[in-house]
């Protein structure tokens, strides 16, 4: 932050305080409601005829609907980081779901709070670090659960009984009741729904059982004239969805046991009363499945229908939540001076191209719903076709609060657009960049440009392919015309414009986010020293012998995407108890041990890790025992490091004991089977 900007911020804050003391601070309140994976096509004011969303539609009826609103990187954590910072992923540091958000960087809630706004964050956070810039926060643990979810309130773990959307709503209303009514506020209310695995509230499970839900015309898309990326993805509704985990199918007629094809943890969280109601609601339609026993395309259509019944069912609760907030504002006389925004972190495929999920730069994933109501300045029932980005939220909120926008923010305020006055220099093209490959769903890395009429996409890293879509003549993106001679001039023009955008946003050729090598070589005092194991490593993954644990090669998470397991040591069912002989008494500053977690491969991080030292290899002094936080942390694929700093420690022998979970938990697809512990480099400094 420049000195000039800092001084301006202090002066602005002083002025705001003075106004507030005189009772004249009438700057607008801001309520930012963001759902997760809510496609615009699943909102009735955007033309959907299957589900009705009357409360969300109120925002369109009483404010402005944006028909050309987009995200910059269609995946959960990166989108949230962009919203907070007003900066593209490559600058805010969160390019995919594996990075931890650096909370020390500037965000719009921090700036608002510095200018006498009350700030709160309630619901899904998903940025791996604790929220900063908020007077109050109460966030879901990780992705969150639909039933009886765990929360972290101002650093304290809590668990609430009930349905997640209702809980987030009640926490929001409680905070509104308890706020300082003499000051403006900014409240971020982030829903889990309608994120996978689409578990509706009991009251809405059967809402769409008798509803006609048309299958998209391109549901059985064969991806002709498209890139390799479209063919290589793993996000097909009819090929890649799980019968139990995603579609809640039970093991047979009249059964209440869900098919265990990935995880049943979400069902295990339910109270007995919730589970009985759930089983009762699904019993008839699961029995109907077994009576009909669909196969082939009939099974593919059944999967689509079940997916949509559940997905749309979760949205009904979100719509009710929006209604509860709007009713609260009406009741307390806050509607006129409160900006209410409804959006989603990205779009979502609802069977188009045969897909679920997001990630691609195709329209269904790229577009986000955006509805804004602010009676003071936004005309009722207005519609904008200007191109806006989630990058623009931060500067827009600051603009409404009368605060200068930091130069580091790359978005633009669309305050004037909301007033019906599109700036003459408003953008005519947007830039997009997706990074998370290789990873779940296998959507290739790509970046691109979208104008009002065309879209050019470049897939890179392990392929080098381009797609060009004529959106005016091919709005569903069924035909790639990149190699069509009739579009050769357009390709040249768009490539030039794309290059300019990449330069403007400072994303012109940087490769720091490409996957690194499978391992890096490091030095430490245990390298090359003898290692003894109390339990033998598995011959299935020998890893070069005992000394693979201290060979100086530290594996990265990318190793899980290769077949080179040489730097890992695998222990099946057994703990790892490794003793390193440093050859002589040595001053020790720290000890760490890395472990692979890849639950789809039966590989779990340790339950706990204990570090101990000895002079004689007989009597050991325990330095520290570190527990994994909770069983809920057993999810996904990552590299987990346990570490202890040492003070005044001198020893010859170092022992690291890592507790294996032993057997796969009941919720795992391999329930009861032997669990693996994959140990990485033990580093002694």
Q: What is the mean pLDDT of each run of 10 residues along the chain (685 residues)?
A: 40 43 76 98 95 98 98 97 98 91 96 98 96 98 94 95 98 98 97 97 96 97 96 94 95 94 85 97 97 97 98 98 98 98 98 98 98 98 98 98 97 98 97 90 95 98 95 98 98 98 89 71 88 81 67 64 58 91 93 86 89 94 84 65 90 95 82 85 91
Q: Do 351 and 25 contact (CB within 8 A), yes or no?
A: no
Q: Among the residues of 86-163, which ranges form H helices?
A: 89-92, 108-114
Strand segments, DSSP code E, in 27-115 are 29-35, 64-66, 69-70
Only one residue has tokens 């009991």, namely 202
pLDDT of 174 reads 98
Q: Angle CA(146)–CA(148)–CA(152) in degrees, nearest 5?
A: 95
Helix (H) or strand (E) holding 531: strand 531-533
Q: How far apart are CA 500 and CA 494, in angstroms?
A: 10
pLDDT of 2 reads 40
Q: How far apart are CA 225 and CA 243, in angstroms?
A: 31
* Tokens describing residue 396: 């827009």
Peptide bond into 197 cis (omega under 30): yes
pLDDT of 631 reads 47
**Does the reported pTM lie above 0.85?**
no
Q: How far apart are CA 608 and CA 628, in angstroms?
A: 6
Q: How far apart are CA 463 and CA 465, in angstroms?
A: 6
Residues 6+ apart with CB under 8 A from 507: 88, 90, 431, 433, 447
Q: Among the residues of 86-135, which ranges form H helices?
A: 89-92, 108-114
pLDDT of 440 reads 78
Candidates 517, 522, 518, 573; CA nearest to 682 is 522
* Tokens describing residue 177: 């009741």
Domains in the chain, CATH or no CATH each: 3-199+310-423 (3.40.720.10), 519-684 (2.60.120.260)
Q: Do 32 and 189 contact (CB within 8 A), yes or no?
A: yes
Reading across the β-sheet that carries 446-451, which strands appear in turn? 429-434, 446-451, 454-459, 465-470
pLDDT of 665 reads 84
Q: Do 102 and 419 contact (CB within 8 A), yes or no?
A: no
Q: How far apart are CA 425 and CA 649, in angstroms?
A: 64
pLDDT of 1 reads 40
End-to-end CA distance of the chain: 37
Helix (H) or strand (E) holding 139: strand 136-140
Residues 6+ apart with CB under 8 A from 473: none
């Amino acid at each position: 932050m420049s000195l000039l900007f800092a001084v301006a911020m202090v002066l602005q804050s002083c002025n705001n305080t003075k106004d507030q003391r005189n009772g004249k601070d009438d700057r607008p309140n801001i309520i930012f409601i963001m759902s997760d994976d809510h496609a615009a096509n699943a909102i009735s004011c955007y033309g959907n005829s299957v589900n009705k969303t009357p409360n969300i539609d109120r925002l369109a009826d009483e404010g402005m609907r944006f028909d050309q609103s987009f995200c910059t990187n269609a995946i959960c954590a990166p989108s949230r980081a962009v919203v907070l910072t007003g900066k593209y992923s490559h600058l805010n540091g969160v390019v995919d779901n594996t990075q931890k958000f650096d909370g020390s960087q500037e965000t719009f809630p921090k700036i608002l709070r510095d200018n006498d706004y009350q700030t709160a964050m309630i619901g899904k956070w998903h940025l791996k670090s604790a929220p900063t810039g908020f007077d109050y926060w109460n966030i879901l643990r990780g992705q969150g659960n639909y039933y009886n979810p765990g929360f972290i309130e101002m650093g304290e773990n809590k668990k609430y009984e009930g349905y997640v959307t209702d809980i987030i709503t009640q926490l929001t209303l409680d905070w509104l009741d308890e706020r300082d009514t003499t000051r403006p506020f900014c409240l971020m209310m982030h829903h889990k729904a309608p994120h996978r695995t689409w578990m509706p509230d009991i009251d809405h499970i059967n809402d769409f059982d008798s509803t006609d839900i048309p299958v998209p015309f391109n549901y059985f898309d064969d991806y002709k004239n498209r890139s390799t990326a479209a063919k290589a993805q793993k996000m097909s509704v009819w090929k890649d969805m799980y019968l139990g985990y995603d579609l809640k199918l039970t093991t047979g007629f009249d059964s209440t046991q869900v098919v265990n094809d990935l995880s049943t943890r979400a069902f295990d969280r339910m109270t007995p009363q919730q589970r009985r109601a759930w089983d009762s609601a699904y019993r008839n339609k699961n029995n109907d499945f077994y009576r009909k026993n669909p196969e082939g395309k009939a099974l593919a259509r059944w999967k689509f229908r079940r997916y949509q019944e559940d997905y749309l069912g979760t949205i009904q609760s979100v719509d009710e939540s929006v209604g509860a907030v709007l009713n609260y504002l009406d009741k307390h006389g806050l509607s006129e001076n409160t900006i209410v925004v409804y959006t989603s972190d990205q779009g979502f495929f609802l069977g188009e191209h045969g897909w679920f999920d997001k990630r691609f730069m195709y329209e269904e994933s790229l577009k986000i719903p955006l509805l804004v109501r602010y009676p003071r300045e936004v005309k009722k029932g207005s519609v904008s076709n200007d191109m806006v980005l989630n990058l623009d939220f931060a500067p827009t909120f600051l603009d409404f609060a009368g605060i200068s926008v930091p130069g580091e923010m790359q978005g633009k305020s669309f305050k004037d657009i909301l007033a019906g006055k599109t700036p003459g220099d408003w953008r005519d093209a947007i830039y997009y960049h997706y990074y998370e490959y290789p990873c779940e769903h296998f959507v290739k890395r790509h970046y691109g440009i979208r104008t009002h009429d065309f879209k050019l996409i470049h897939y890179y890293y392990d392929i080098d392919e381009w797609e060009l879509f004529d959106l005016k003549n091919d709005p569903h993106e069924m035909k790639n015309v990149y190699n069509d001679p009739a579009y050769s001039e357009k390709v040249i023009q768009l490539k030039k414009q794309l290059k300019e955008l990449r330069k403007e946003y400072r994303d012109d050729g940087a490769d720091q986010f490409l996957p690194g090598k499978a391992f890096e070589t490091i030095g430490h005092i245990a390298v090359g020293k003898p290692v003894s194991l109390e339990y033998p490593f598995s011959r299935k993954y020998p890893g070069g012998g005992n000394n693979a644990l201290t060979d100086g090669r530290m594996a990265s998470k990318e190793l899980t995407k290769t077949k080179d397991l040489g730097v890992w040591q695998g222990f099946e069912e057994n703990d790892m108890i490794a003793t390193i002989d440093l050859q002589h008494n040595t001053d020790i500053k720290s000890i760490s041990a890395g472990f692979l977690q890849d639950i789809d491969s039966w590989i779990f991080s340790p339950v706990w890790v204990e570090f101990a030292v000895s002079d004689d290899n007989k009597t050991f002094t325990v330095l520290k025992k570190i527990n994994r936080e909770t069983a809920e942390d057993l999810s996904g694929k990552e590299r987990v490091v346990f570490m202890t700093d040492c003070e005044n420690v001198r020893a010859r022998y170092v022992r690291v004991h890592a507790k294996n979970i032993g057997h796969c938990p009941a919720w795992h697809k391999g329930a009861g089977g032997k669990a693996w512990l994959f140990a990485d480099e033990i580093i002694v400094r």
